[in-house]
């Protein structure tokens, strides 16, 4: 199974994001825009995970969730990987408290469970909005969306998701865990 963990923003927050990018969808040559139903914030990508590792992975992700308080997040600005001048991925940035620690904890849970390949790149909180097969200059697109900040939202749960490849990528949530109650303050 090809697995990852994710946060899924609430519909009203995704509505804001969709309204912000709507005038641009289909306007940048070479960009493929996935269906909104697939939008998520990846915390850890595990790749192919052997079936035998799944029970331990679930237990470790459950424990990780209880150790991290619900973060308050917001989409802030847009960017691209590897750079806006030579982009293959267009994304919405994400700011908020403790999301990096949560992602590190989820990645560690995957490593300890033997959950296939855990991406070791430095975590960069984002939601992928479009992809390109070849490097594309997205400076005009990113500049036209400068200054966007979405409403704050609380990420209440993390999900373990299976990615099913084929002519159309499909995601299936295998499990979901509540994060710890938010710390007062």
Show which residues are catalytic. 40, 126
How many C-beta atoms surround the C-beta of residue 9 within 10 A? 24
Distance of CA 55 to the CA centre of its chain: 23
Q: In this structure, what token pair is assigned to residue 134?
A: 């070849």
DSSP secondary structure code for residue 176 in this structure: E
Burial class (CB in 10 A: 0-12, 13-18, 19+), 54: middle
Q: Could you identify the residue written with the tokens 């969730």?
A: 65
Residues 179/158, Cβ–Cβ less than 8 Å = yes
Q: Is 146 within 8 Å of 107 (Cβ atoms)? A: no
If one counts every other C-beta atom within 10 angstroms of the C-beta of residue 121, the result is 7
Q: What is the spatial distance between Cα 175 and Cα 162, in angstroms, rounded to a whole number?
A: 10
């Amino acid at each position: 199974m090809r697995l990852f963990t994710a946060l899924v923003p609430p519909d009203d927050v995704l509505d804001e994001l969709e309204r912000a990018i709507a005038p641009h969808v289909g306007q940048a040559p070479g960009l493929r825009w996935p269906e909104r139903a697939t939008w998520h914030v990846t915390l850890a990508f595990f790749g192919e995970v052997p079936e035998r590792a799944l029970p331990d992975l679930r237990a470790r992700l459950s424990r990780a969730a209880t150790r991290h308080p619900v973060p308050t997040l917001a989409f802030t600005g847009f960017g691209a990987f590897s750079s806006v001048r030579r982009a293959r991925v267009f994304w919405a940035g994400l700011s908020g408290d403790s999301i990096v620690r949560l992602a590190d904890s989820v990645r560690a849970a995957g490593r300890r469970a033997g959950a296939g390949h855990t991406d070791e790149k430095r975590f960069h909180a984002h939601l992928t909005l479009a992809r390109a097969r070849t490097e594309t200059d997205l400076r005009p697109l990113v500049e036209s969306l400068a200054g966007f900040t979405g409403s704050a939202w609380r990420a209440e749960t993390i999900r373990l998701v299976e990615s099913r490849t084929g002519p159309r990528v499909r995601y299936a949530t295998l499990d979901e865990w509540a994060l710890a109650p938010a710390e007062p303050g």
